[in-house]
């Protein structure tokens, strides 16, 4: 047997046997001292959180940019099925730390077997989010998981069970919860400064139609079968694995009804609190591409009516054209200029619109209440830094600003919305039991997503 064959056999045995602790200690590098990182006076190496990343593409590198400056952690491992992506992410990490110590992997299981890794950033393709997170949690790692969560509610529930049972720290990548304006809007509502909350408007961009159906070989550096993973097998088509394509294909994602929609949805639910729980009626309409590879909703308009009396309207915004005309002229007259995504709360005593970089209230004086002592006694978690909040929770074992329970609730809202426009009938969703009642076909669509062998939840 030649040297290359021996090396490949050893690697396979390494993954399959899952290694012993002694072997792991012998193979993988120890944490390097702070002085070697150019961080004199930083957290002691023995107390530094060692971080790995699964999914190191554009979004993964964006979030890594929030981890690298943190003195309480050190990024030591990267995994991606795309060789060129691994190399690019490693170059980014090595440049920051001024060393070559970050290891790269094509198989996430090799990263997770490392005993020195405490926490994992998961920013892989949507159809891998829950499987990667489950594997990390079962390997006793804390997890920061990019949104949306799962491709079915069953996947979400499985991850929640594991996180809770194993007492792992979980942070969902809904970064708006770490923005002052969104937190202030929700605290104003929770403290009754809109009077009784009656209605919430929320909006986000729809998916894009298109996608080439021309069969083409996958790029040579890509392990395409591994990239597909639990998704149904399909022939590779031009640019299939690019963000501009898989985002909008239901085998890999729910589309922007969840990919973008979960941001305003999450803020709506954060502000509404208990009013957005229990039984709710959901109905709406949507549009789907009629040609090309993409098959997720390009437009939607969905009404939610809770037993509490609260109503919500969840709608899409156009890629081009008049935003106010798409959403309704009355929205423009009331709120003024409307951005491409946001959340607007309406109560008996006023309203609040909040989006990225903007908060508008009526009456305008509402925003001043934060500086008045005693006006906001009901506090939400204050997090000025989403990554920092996660790392603090890893150290203290306290809840994050975006825990698994709210992640599942927000993800479920997107899933129920998608089911409603696909089956084209009114649904009754029990938010406590997390199931659609009196409609087993719709409930099955909500919960069941078969996975390609050998992958399973």
Residue 320 C-beta-side C-alpha neighbours within 13 Å: 1
Q: Give the span between the Cα atoms of 271 and 429, in whole angstroms.
A: 20
Sequence-distant (≥ 6) Cβ neighbours of residue 144 within 8 angstroms: 63, 119, 120, 121, 122, 170, 171, 173, 387, 390
Q: What is the pLDDT along the chain (457 residues), one digit of tens a residue?
A: 444 444 444 444 444 444 333 333 333 334 444 444 444 555 666 689 999 999 999 999 999 999 999 999 999 999 999 999 999 999 999 999 999 999 999 999 999 999 999 999 999 999 999 999 999 999 999 999 999 999 999 999 999 999 999 999 999 999 999 999 999 999 999 999 999 999 999 999 999 999 999 999 998 889 999 999 999 999 999 999 987 899 999 999 999 999 999 999 999 999 999 999 999 999 999 999 999 999 999 999 999 999 999 999 999 987 665 566 667 677 878 888 888 899 999 999 999 999 998 999 999 999 999 999 999 999 999 999 999 999 999 999 999 999 999 999 999 999 999 999 999 999 999 999 999 999 999 999 999 999 999 999 9
Among 226, 251, 272, which Cα is nearest to 80's? 226
Pairwise CA distance, residues 332 & 85, whole Å: 43
Q: Hey, where are the domains in the chain? A: 10-176, 179-382+404-447
CA atoms within 13 A on the CB side of 338: 29
User: In CATH, which of 3.30.300.30, 3.40.50.970, 3.10.450.50, 3.40.50.720 is domain 10-176?
Assistant: 3.40.50.720
Give helix 404-423 / helix 440-447 axis angle, nearest 10°: 130
For residue 23 the two structure tokens come to 């072997």
Domain spanning 179-382+404-447, CATH class? alpha beta
Q: Nearest-CA neighbor of 136 among 158, 155, 118?
A: 118
Question: What's 30's DSSP letter?
Answer: P
pTM metric for this prediction: 0.89
């Amino acid at each position: 047997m030649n040297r290359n064959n021996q090396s490949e056999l050893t690697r396979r045995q390494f993954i399959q046997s899952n290694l012993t602790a002694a072997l792991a200690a012998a193979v993988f590098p120890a944490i390097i001292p702070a002085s070697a990182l150019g961080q004199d006076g930083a957290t002691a190496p023995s107390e530094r959180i060692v971080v790995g990343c699964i999914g190191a593409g554009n979004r993964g590198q964006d979030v890594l940019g929030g981890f690298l400056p943190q003195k309480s952690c050190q990024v030591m491992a990267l995994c991606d099925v795309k060789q060129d992506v691994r190399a690019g992410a490693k170059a980014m990490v090595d440049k920051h730390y001024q060393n070559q110590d970050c290891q790269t992997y094509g198989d996430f299981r090799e990263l997770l077997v490392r005993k020195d890794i405490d926490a994992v950033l998961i920013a892989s393709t949507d159809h891998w989010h829950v499987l990667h997170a489950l594997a990390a949690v079962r390997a006793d790692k804390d997890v920061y998981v990019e949104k949306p969560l799962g491709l079915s509610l069953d996947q979400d529930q499985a991850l929640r069970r594991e996180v809770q049972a194993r007492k792992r720290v979980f942070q969902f990548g809904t970064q708006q919860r770490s923005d002052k304006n969104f937190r202030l809007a929700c605290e104003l509502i929770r403290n009754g400064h809109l009077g009784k909350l009656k209605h919430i408007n929320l909006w986000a961009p729809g998916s894009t139609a298109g996608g080439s159906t021309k069969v083409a070989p996958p790029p040579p550096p890509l392990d395409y079968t591994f990239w597909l993973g639990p998704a149904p097998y399909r022939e590779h088509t031009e640019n299939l694995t690019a963000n501009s394509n898989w985002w909008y294909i239901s085998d890999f994602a729910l589309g922007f009804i969840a990919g973008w929609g979960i941001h305003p949805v999450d803020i709506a639910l954060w502000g509404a609190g208990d009013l957005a729980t229990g039984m709710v009626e959901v109905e709406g309409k949507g549009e789907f591409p009629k040609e090309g590879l993409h098959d997720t909703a390009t437009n939607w308009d969905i009404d939610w009516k809770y037993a509490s009396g609260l109503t919500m309207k969840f709608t899409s915004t156009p890629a081009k054209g008049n935003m106010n005309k798409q959403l309704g002229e009355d929205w423009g007259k009331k709120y003024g200029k409307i951005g491409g995504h946001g959340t607007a709360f309406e109560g008996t005593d006023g309203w609040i619109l909040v989006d990225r970089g903007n908060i508008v209230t009526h009456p305008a004086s509402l925003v001043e209440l934060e500086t008045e002592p005693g006006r906001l006694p009901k506090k939400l978690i204050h997090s000025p830094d989403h990554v920092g909040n996660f790392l603090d929770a890893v150290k203290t074992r306290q809840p994050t600003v975006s825990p698994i329970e709210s992640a599942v609730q927000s993800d479920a809202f997107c899933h129920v919305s998608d089911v409603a426009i696909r089956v084209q009938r009114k649904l009754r969703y029990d938010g406590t039991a997390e199931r659609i009642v009196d409609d087993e076909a719709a409930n099955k669509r909500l919960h069941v997503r078969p996975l390609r062998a050998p992958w399973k939840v």
